[in-house]
Structure 1
């Protein structure tokens, strides 16, 4: 069965069995031939026999060339009037008497005219069934077109695969789960064309670009053109000629470009022809039309064929045509590279800015620009830009050496401004690469003091703004907020002001003031949009991410930040991407948001991506990605895997969330049945959050700790939750906190109201915890019956929960999990403060639902449903 083609397969088969035939039309590489083979294989062999002919460029030049195999001794000497009957006789001979002939004509758009006429005549006479494939967007003989226009054969368009179908194909090909980001890359790189998808997968596995990482297959390399499809793409490019390839080269060098810019390399008529051929596509973006290649793999093929002369010529044309005011979009990022390729002089300042513009989209290009800037006297800023590009590529030792060399040069020249710039960069390197934020903070304090003593206002502001960010990522949100407010009162330079403002948004959220955070975040987003060309992509992306973080706990379905799937470590603005790809959700935020909403399976998938992405580069959110993944895995019944995540990707000193390490460890302990240890660890996390002034984090920890012991926990933590609620205005978390307080009262009707409130704010997981605890003590009241009905509805909407697949309740899943790990009934009862009889009752129900009879079978069954 072909992946993603079930509907088409059934429709084509029906057209062949019940009518005269079907024509499968689609672009090159979409799998028309494979679909035709599957259709034929699906026909009952006792009723139908098939004969194949394939049209080619060579056969097109010879009358009846495509029918040669059916013309018994050669077509050149056969009179045209006899061809129809000769072909029909050959079909009956090949297919067998008593069976209906099915004539399969592959690539019918390449049929010579006489062969196409014979095909049409056979179909019109209803003496054969025809299964025809033809390429869309190219001319076909009139007789082929008549098959669906006049004879009314079913004409089925074979589309590219959907993203989900590409994921299914990849998992089938690799015999294992594939990360969501890798699926998105394969889909976008290939345009969903199965032939290209399979070739890219096979190539990636062969050369090591596809690796098994965090229990998923993941693509970890730039896009390449596999040898299997290079010839196919080269043939397509050969057909467009030199002017057409120049136009394609323009888009390959600059990503999606305004139509006015592309027209510098090609006439409007040629661009229209390329669009008709399906090689490019256009789209409306704001007030301009953008033109892009059909898919990025085509761009890679164009760049592979591009000679230095063509690159120089096309780059010069692009430079000449790009309007100076066009400061957004890929052509703004690529303009300095165009100048380099065109051999035109570029100043070091422009090179440095361009290196910053393309740092995250194309770090290799950023390195090239930064090195050129350093060669042209760019000094300390060029060295800092070069170090950033090297870090982004994982070459951290080279980055450090570049900064140290720049520091020596600045000291030798007695250039105080350059010294401050490099010293701040070294401190940031120590924080994010060395993972020593507290030591980096001390370094920045010394730089600040030296600048203040020297009367260097700019240097003082640069060090202070960097110190605020480092303090924030040391889990000291309240102190970072205080420092940010002090610095903002002094009106620092624009870059520092934006950096500190964004840090203050995150700090406000962590300390519980989400309304103020949202207000400041919206103002920051508006400011960077007004700044236009002066705001770097990362600044604009981080502004959007900060606002999304503020709205996460306020809106049931917040709008999350987006990123480039090929470089997903950082949030990006919603501009067209230089890679030619479309934006996707930022995994680290998307995974956390799905976890809050109760979608564990979705959260785990996205957080796996986030862990892999944050492991490289600066990895500002490395701890959050690993910690949240481990917690969600543990909650989903996978403590061993969660523990492995923390072992391989430990939560370190660089973290926004204070107490994250003990929280993650507590989650693993709870999932392993170590309830007392989990409670101690959560108390430790609560103390850390409280000491940091992070009321929102503390409230989250209190709620989590209360649910660890559903019998005594709500009463134990109710007063502290009530106190924290007075400091937090995050509606979703406040709703969850009030529900825990209500749980301590055990009033079913009140708890039912709280469950519905949790659903209103899209916290299905918290609602499910609540109803599970109430139904565990279910009586016969109307309220408890309503709870049972609500629990059934919630479980039906929670596909990621392992309990769902087998119909287990949360308590049955919990007890079954402990039993599968070898705990006795008495040990489970002690852990959960239950009677042994209650444990045995729940365990017996789990055995029946899973159709097992022993703890050994139980372990295997839970792995299957989980």
Structure 2
């Protein structure tokens, strides 16, 4: 993008230009922030550096009018076909980071919207992307923009005005001849070396004849016609360019950047060409979608200050022109609505506001969605605007306000589709935000609802309450074709729970895929995270963490670099995978991070309860009894009606607590009771989990049931492994094999307990060497992953060796010499020999038997 102002030279910035060029050319590219007064030359300096950059350059500019539009500064590179706001951010960042030699120049950074600022911050962290940002000294910084400016690795360039010598060079290079000493002194006094001020002052004075060339030197005629302010000078330049040029500047002052055809419709192409010749506007964007911008934000500020009434009328005209343009995207819809918000009333205004509110809801800009809906005046648009408002309030956690809004408009719905959508949003709000499932049930009982809508609401309530068979009977059939995306998401949500509970792994996969397809719309995209969590949860429950990991990885591809709740949710899902696989140390770190994130964002309980449960189980399997008991209490204090399906897992935490207290018999009894309750409700997944818990602690009464489940569900890894474990209780050799089976399924905490049980059984049968081998296998499985269970504690206390003796024996059996052991443990050789002698007495056999264990 070129500007008319670039006909003037870049003077006095040699040092800064070289410094910035080195910073962005380095292998570890440093982001650069150029800060200075308006017109001081920040943009020009960045542009000149960009021209010399050997790679792809993206030019991004913040504007006052674009500050309310999510990703508005990056609109030229956003794929309009991507409706999911999370995927949209990720795709944009991938576009900007795909080339290893990329420069992103961000002009007027504080005027970017928060989502665009997040993209800039992500690009700064990318390492291989060069970023240059300009900041006006008088622009107030939001917390987000301040975080970008204060980036720990950023190089801050404070750009001063030109010196007197540089001012003289600037005049000579721009006007082709030197200025007199008197004129230079006056210019420097008035401009303090501000290039924009200088340029405007010189061009104005030359155009009015106040500057004359005498004997090859520019002098001032001395007439007192020079304006004292930059604003007045630029305003005069605009006036002298003509009314049609002012029209172009005014349109862009309201809403830059704008598509060239839209500006041309309002002003004419001839006016655009004349404005470009005068250096007031420049063309950017892409060849397919060219956009028009002002060459300097001061031009817009001057016109906004002097033509506010006219601009109010222009906002409506621009909004209508954008709405009529082909290929309108959701971002364009938001821009139209923001313009209409502050415009004079015009035909079609409310339609634009509602469409913009819908797009803002899809972009998760909930505050903007509410603001736009509040401005709707037409009764014909009332239902739509109130529905969007209720949805936004519910997502913001304001459940009572959402219900009041939705209840008030329920009787006004004119079509079955509106009635259906209002009912679904109300029910969702009752279930999650308000924690009042009975009121959601009353919505389902509304006689005006279509049967499919009532069945969907009842189905999700049954699923969340732990009644999977009722869900399968009600929601699986052709009667649900043509439901709106939100209804389909909720139906798939219920079916994922029901098929997971009943162990129907293939149906689980199919319903999850259908749900993911239903979330690929602007108003349902935010449900993708919760649906992925449910899918991954039941895969883990059934013993298939690999499939769960792929589901979470797909979500990561969509979320990418998106900030806020999606990122926190993804971290929690990764922590859940860690618990399922037995990577307890990693899981603990991830879940702690996620729970802190939910707390910092003020998330309601229904968002963090599932991850609090996973964190409690991680504590149980790490031997962190204090945290386990604290989280059991925390979950009890925040009981939520939407998590009835998680009750078996929550109750198993109490069994873990009993086991850590030494009451193993009581712990087994609790687990078997949970299994019986799950069996009655045909909740196969949770029944198998509870039976497995009992078997891990030595229960011998559930072999028949475990074998029947394995026979009935041969494609469920946890069922197969639990049956094998139940048959092996007390049989050391079989327990060794069970541990390997668990390892093959990536269920390492279960494998650790099988190794521990094998060690105890070998010891009870007098096979001390085999016991030590089992303990070595236990250490290899558990120690790197941070696993510590009551069964492991029992196994390690039963071998009769001290911790030091066990450590030395393991090293000796691995083939280390006495001196090698002494060097490794920083002991004397004689001390090592003493430990080996005493260990052999305890084990009843030589430590080194010639066999490799």
Same-fold status (TM-score > 0.5):
yes
Is structure 2 residue 631 aligned with structure 1 residue 645?
A: yes
Cα pair distance change 1:367/1:252, threshold 3 Å:
closer
Q: What is the TM-score of this pair, normalised by structure 1?
A: 0.54
3-state secondary structure, aligned to 1:293: helix
Q: Which residue of 2 aligns with 1:401?
A: 404
Q: Which residue of 2 aligns with 1:357?
A: 362
What is the rounded CA distance, in whole Å, between the counterparts of 1:375 and 1:490 in structure 2?
33
Is structure 2 residue 227 aligned with structure 1 residue 240?
A: no
What is the rounded CA distance, in whole Å, between the counterparts of 1:579 and 1:588 in structure 2?
14
Unaligned runs of 5+ in 2: 1-10, 48-58, 81-98, 108-116, 125-132, 146-249, 263-288, 290-321, 810-824, 826-853
Q: Which residue of 2 aligns with 1:681?
A: 670
Q: Larger RCO: Structure 1 or Structure 2 (Cα < 8 Å, ≥ 6 residues apart)?
A: 2
Q: Which residue of 2 aligns with 1:790?
A: 777
What is the rounded CA distance, in whole Å, between the counterparts of 1:723 and 1:262 in structure 2?
53
Q: Which residue of 2 aligns with 1:436?
A: 436
Cα pair distance change 1:136/1:778, threshold 3 Å:
farther
Q: Which residue of 2 aligns with 1:586?
A: 570
Is structure 2 residue 385 aligned with structure 1 residue 388?
A: no
* Paired residues, number: 569
Contact 1:381 1:421 in 2 (8 A): no
What is the rounded CA distance, in whole Å, between the counterparts of 1:346 and 1:764 in structure 2?
59
What is the rounded CA distance, in whole Å, between the counterparts of 1:236 and 1:764 in structure 2?
63
- Give 1:740's match in structure 2, choosing from 725, 749, 760: 725
* Aligned-residue offset at 1:723: 2.6
Cα pair distance change 1:603/1:372, threshold 3 Å:
farther
- Give 2:500's match in structure 1, choosing from 493, 509, 512: 509
What is the rounded CA distance, in whole Å, between the counterparts of 1:673 and 1:536 in structure 2?
48
Contact 2:350 2:378 in 1 (8 A): no
* Aligned-residue offset at 1:636: 1.7
Q: Which residue of 2 aligns with 1:182?
A: none
Is structure 2 residue 746 aligned with structure 1 residue 754?
A: no
Cα pair distance change 1:678/1:364, threshold 3 Å:
farther
* Aligned-residue offset at 1:746: 0.9
Contact 1:554 1:732 in 2 (8 A): yes
What is the rounded CA distance, in whole Å, between the counterparts of 1:542 and 1:423 in structure 2?
20
What is the rounded CA distance, in whole Å, between the counterparts of 1:490 and 1:309 in structure 2?
47
Q: Which residue of 1 aligns with 2:748?
A: 764
Q: Which residue of 1 aligns with 2:296?
A: none
What is the rounded CA distance, in whole Å, between the counterparts of 2:731 and 2:661 in structure 1?
27
Q: Which residue of 2 aligns with 1:77?
A: none
Contact 1:772 1:810 in 2 (8 A): no
3-state secondary structure, aligned to 1:654: helix
Q: Which residue of 1 aligns with 2:620?
A: 634
Counterparts of 1:787-866 in structure 2, within 5 Å, are: 787-798=774-785, 800-801=786-787, 811=791, 813=793
Cα pair distance change 1:771/1:503, threshold 3 Å:
same
Is structure 2 residue 666 aligned with structure 1 residue 706?
A: no
Cα pair distance change 1:300/1:670, threshold 3 Å:
farther
What is the rounded CA distance, in whole Å, between the counterparts of 1:583 and 1:436 in structure 2?
28
Contact 2:357 2:388 in 1 (8 A): yes
Cα pair distance change 1:262/1:563, threshold 3 Å:
closer
Cα pair distance change 1:310/1:507, threshold 3 Å:
farther
Unaligned runs of 5+ in 1: 1-59, 63-107, 113-133, 140-154, 161-190, 194-228, 264-271, 281-289, 565-570, 804-808, 817-836, 851-866
Contact 1:295 1:580 in 2 (8 A): no
Counterparts of 1:616-635 in structure 2, within 5 Å, are: 620=606, 622-635=608-621
Query: CA RMSD, aligned part only?
Result: 5.2
Contact 1:471 1:480 in 2 (8 A): yes
What is the rounded CA distance, in whole Å, between the counterparts of 2:135 and 2:424 in structure 1?
38
* Aligned-residue offset at 1:645: 2.3
What is the rounded CA distance, in whole Å, between the counterparts of 1:465 and 1:602 in structure 2?
38
Q: Which residue of 2 aligns with 1:226?
A: none
What is the rounded CA distance, in whole Å, between the counterparts of 2:672 and 2:260 in structure 1?
61
Q: Which residue of 2 aligns with 1:829?
A: none
Counterparts of 1:370-519 in structure 2, within 5 Å, are: 370-372=373-375, 377-407=380-410, 410=411, 422=422, 424-437=424-437, 439-447=438-446, 450-451=447-448, 457=450, 460-485=451-476, 488=479, 492-493=483-484, 495-519=486-510
What is the rounded CA distance, in whole Å, between the counterparts of 1:296 and 1:382 in structure 2?
36
* Aligned-residue offset at 1:598: 0.2
3-state secondary structure, aligned to 2:512: helix
Counterparts of 1:95-134 in structure 2, within 5 Å, are: 110=16
3-state secondary structure, aligned to 1:574: helix
Contact 2:760 2:771 in 1 (8 A): no
What is the rounded CA distance, in whole Å, between the counterparts of 2:783 and 2:507 in structure 1?
37
Cα pair distance change 1:839/1:548, threshold 3 Å:
closer
What is the rounded CA distance, in whole Å, between the counterparts of 2:488 and 2:70 in structure 1?
32
Cα pair distance change 1:461/1:810, threshold 3 Å:
closer
* Aligned-residue offset at 1:365: 2.9
Contact 1:548 1:559 in 2 (8 A): yes
Larger Rg: 2
3-state secondary structure, aligned to 1:637: coil
Contact 1:669 1:678 in 2 (8 A): yes
Contact 2:568 2:598 in 1 (8 A): no
Q: Deviations over 1:393-430 (max 9, x none)?
A: 333343333334435xx36x998876665455444333
